[in-house]
Structures are given as C-alpha cells and as structure tokens.
Structure 1
Amino acid sequence: MTSFTVRRLGPDDGAALERLAQDETDFTDELPSPPLTPDAARAYLSDPGVWHWHAEDAGGDPVGFLMAYVHRRRHGEPLDVMFEEIGVRRSWRRRGVGRALVDALHAQMRTQGIGSVWVAADNDGARAFYEACGYELDELQGVILSRAGDKGAY
C-alpha cells in the first residue's frame, strides 16, 4: 500500500488548493470549481475558523482533502464544527485516506476543546462512511434553501 501523510494547510499553501481545483472531479465527482486567486487563497487559509487538511502522497500531490468551519454559538457549548466537505481521489478510495482525514479533524477538535461536530450527508455512501466514523443520525432536514444575489445587494 502506498503511503500518504495528512497535514493542515496554512496561509502559504495556495498552490495546494489550486492543484486540488484542477482535479476536483476526481475527488468529488462534481464539476470543477474555479480556483481562488492567490490573495483569496491566503485569506481562506489564514482564517482561524477555516480548517482545511490535505492527504498527500509521497510526492506531495493531494490524494484527499477535508474542510470544516468552526462556528461560534449563541447558546450551549460556545463552539461547534461544521464538517463541510471531504473528497478522496478515486484511485485512493478504500485505503484509509478518508478515515485519516476525519481523525485529523477530531484531533484538532480535541486540541481546541470542541466537542460537537455535524455534517450533512447527501447520499447513502456518504452516510455510511460518516456512520463508520462514529457519527449518528441527528435529525432529518427536509429542505435546504439558499440565496445568491449581486454583491452589495444585501
């Protein structure tokens, strides 16, 4: 089995995000998103509320990623984590990459003293993976609404 390492990206890792964007379909089965500009990537990776890890092969190429956001709450525990997205390159699936990324998330939460994390699963495979990582069905959300508008319109 080929080895990989997991590391949390920092402000100077914009190139890693760009490499991920180039092959996004191989990780997520979704159409690629345009990469962030260098300034936007630095701002994203400098934000203490953004946690972004990469699993990388021996050559430093991404084989998986996980991103999560820390939320400050108005009641109960002061912080929780929204596990936003995970992706593993097709050829690396079922080799422990996803589990290692989730373990890195949980380790960071312990370090920060955060005890609560939630994730939305949009398919049966994702749900099975999260359950294998110790997640439990909390509640069913019937509808997700969003709004996009012109910048400055709000």
Structure 2
Amino acid sequence: MPPFTVRRLRPGDEAALAQVAADETDFTEEDPSPPLSAEEARAYLADPHVWHWHADDEYGQPVGFLMAYVHRRRHRSGSGQTACDVMFEEIGVRESWRRAGVGRALVAALHRQMQAEGLRDVWVAADNEGAQAFYAACGYEVDELQGVILSREV
C-alpha cells in the first residue's frame, strides 16, 4: 500500500471537505452528504472547536478522515483537568485503504492533539460491532455509566 500522511485541515482546505462529501459511500458506506457551501466550509475549518484530520495518499487525495469537537463542561471532571472534553464524532477510511493503519493513524493524531491541549477525556459512539472492535483496539472501553444516545429532530 502506498504511503499516506495525516494532516489537520485548516481554512483553505474547503475542497478536501467537498471531496469527502462526494465520496461519502467509499469512506463510510453511507449515502453521499450534501457538501457545505464555501462560506460554511470556511467557518467549519476556522472554528477552533472543530478538529478535522485527513489522511492523504501520495497524490494528496484523501484516503481517510476523522472529525471531533471540543466542548466545555459546566464542571471539571477531576483535579487538574480542564473543563473541556472531546467528542470524537466521525471517522471514515476508503474501502481500498482499510486495514492499512489509516484509522489508527487518525486516532493517534486526535490523541496527540488532546495531549498538546491538556485534554484527557474523549467520547465516541460506536453504532456497530466493527466500530466497537476498532475503538477497543485503539484503547477505548465501554463506559457503563453512560446511557444510550437518543436523538430528536426539532
């Protein structure tokens, strides 16, 4: 498998977001997502609470992505910890690049950023056995205190 590099997206990388949206099925096996407008993509990438990484192949084409949010809590979770944590929202790897270390490299980039920011707590929702196995292999554990995630459209 050719090499890949992992980089955090910044303003100016709006086209990379659009490409992943267009190729959504190859990354996540879900239907393609409508891309953000140029203005929305710039705002997304400029938001310091949005962390978005791409793994790019040797030609600069995305082969994987990871997106997480940093959010504030109303209290600290332990002594010396910040009042922020990270919600690991989404990860996707092109089907032809799976089992080549791309997902683990993206998760490692998230963890390095957390360490650099002094953040210790990260959450991820795993909606299938494959995802649960991947996260467990990356050191995540089921948190028995957390309930099932419910949603509602308003």
TM-score, length of structure 2 as denominator length = 0.93
Superposition deviation, residue 75 in structure 1: 1.0
- Give me the whole-angstrom Cα distance separating, in 2, the residues matched to 1:146 and 1:87: 24
- Give me the whole-angstrom Cα distance separating, in 2, the residues matched to 1:101 and 1:142: 26
- Give me the whole-angstrom Cα distance separating, in 1, the residues matched to 2:151 and 2:90: 18
- Residue equivalent to 1:97: 102
- 2:129 corresponds to 1:124: yes
- Residue equivalent to 1:144: 150
Superposition deviation, residue 146 in structure 1: 1.6
- Residue equivalent to 2:35: 35
- Give me the whole-angstrom Cα distance separating, in 2, the residues matched to 1:143 and 1:108: 26
Q: Which runs of 5+ in 1 are unaligned?
A: 149-154
Q: Which runs of 5+ in 2 are unaligned?
A: 78-82
> 4+ runs of 1 displaced by more than 6 Å?
none
TM-score, length of structure 1 as denominator length = 0.93
Q: Deviations over 1:83-141 (max 9, x none)?
A: 00000000000000000000000000000000000100000000000000000000353
Residue aligned with 2:152, SS: coil
- Give me the whole-angstrom Cα distance separating, in 2, the residues matched to 1:27 and 1:117: 22
90, 95, 107: which one pairs with 1:85?
Answer: 90
- Give me the whole-angstrom Cα distance separating, in 2, the residues matched to 1:143 and 1:86: 18
- 2:137 corresponds to 1:110: no
- Residue equivalent to 1:16: 16
1:43-58 correspondence to structure 2 within 5 Å = 43-58=43-58
- Give me the whole-angstrom Cα distance separating, in 2, the residues matched to 1:146 and 1:14: 29
128, 133, 140: which one pairs with 1:135?
Answer: 140
